[in-house]
């Protein structure tokens, strides 16, 4: 599914996947990072269908 440009502009951007994973692990809800096909940075999503699970922290 392609990210809409308006949604891309509203979301926080992460330069690296590692930064996005760290932010997702620090969140209080289940978030997953994905690479945006619009800006080519990483965003976070709460959708889990078809997304990889985060590595266990610790």
Asked whether residue 51 is domain-assigned, the answer is no
Asked whether residue 35 is domain-assigned, the answer is yes
Give the residues of the chain that fall short of pLDDT 70: 1, 50-58
Q: Which tokens in the block code for residue 32?
A: 């997953």
Neighbours of 47 (CB within 10 A): 11
User: Which whole-number Å values give the CA distances from 28 to 46, 52, 56, in the listed order?
Assistant: 11, 18, 15
Question: What's the pLDDT at 47?
Answer: 85
Domain range for 39 is: 5-45
Asked whether residue 13 is domain-assigned, the answer is yes
Question: What's the pLDDT at 9?
Answer: 93
Question: What's the pLDDT at 48?
Answer: 75
Question: What's the pLDDT at 12?
Answer: 95
């Amino acid at each position: 599914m392609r990210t809409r440009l308006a949604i891309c502009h509203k979301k926080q951007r992460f330069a690296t996947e590692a930064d996005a994973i760290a932010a997702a692990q620090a969140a209080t809800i289940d978030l997953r990072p994905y690479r945006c096909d619009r800006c080519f940075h990483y965003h976070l999503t709460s959708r889990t269908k078809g997304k990889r699970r985060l590595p266990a922290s610790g």
